[in-house]
Amino acid sequence: MDALEYLQGSNWLGVALAALMKIPKDRIAWLGAEALRRITTAPMPDQKRFLLGECVQAYLPMDEDQQRVFEQLVTGEPYKGVQAMNMTSYEKGEERGRRNLVQILLKRKFKQLPDRVAERVDGMSVDEIIDLIEKLPQANSLQDLGLEN
């Protein structure tokens, strides 16, 4: 089956499964970025987009050079929206795990964790979470951590 033909089609599963089809070697990175771009803008629930994106990422046959090209492609136009989708389920789970760990540690240290603080932790980037974990042992209050005014 011709991956490029399915990539341009209106069947979203076909777009994702193009990663498993015959792809010209010099087009592998582009096909991955383009498939993810199309899926990112597809009119469907986020969960379906996520699953189709996972299919592309899991089955696209990229070597190290193609992976570098792919990463360069998704940082520019028109592929900016692909970057968020490019995070694997493992990475998303790891990120969620860090947030849960921080909330557990905050509750253990300060006995209470106001809802607004828990919500703030949920909205933090990975770097902010790591920074918070590093500061936690020396902190005497949520204020010391910049979590309350």
Report how far residue 105's alpha carbon sits from residue 124's, in angstroms, rounded to the nearest whole number. 16
Contact 82, 40 (CB under 8 A): yes
Q: Is residue 147 part of a domain?
A: no
Claim to verify: residue 25 and residue 71 sit in the same structural domain:
yes
Cα separation, 16 vs 56, whole angstroms: 5
pTM of the full structure? 0.57
Helix or strand run (H / E) with residue 13: helix 12-17
Q: At residue 140, does pLDDT exceed 90?
A: yes
What percent of the chain lies above the pLDDT cut of 70?
91
Q: What pLDDT, on the 0 to 100 scale, is given for residue 142?
A: 92
Q: Model confidence over 69-85: pLDDT tens digits?
A: 888 888 878 877 676 66
Mind listing the pLDDT tens digit for each residue in 77-134? 887 767 666 565 566 677 778 888 899 999 999 988 899 999 999 888 888 888 999 9
Domain hosting 33: range is 3-85
Q: How far is the C-alpha of 10 from the C-alpha of 63, rounded, in Å? A: 28
143, part of any domain:
no
Which residues are bridge partners to 22 per DSSP? 2
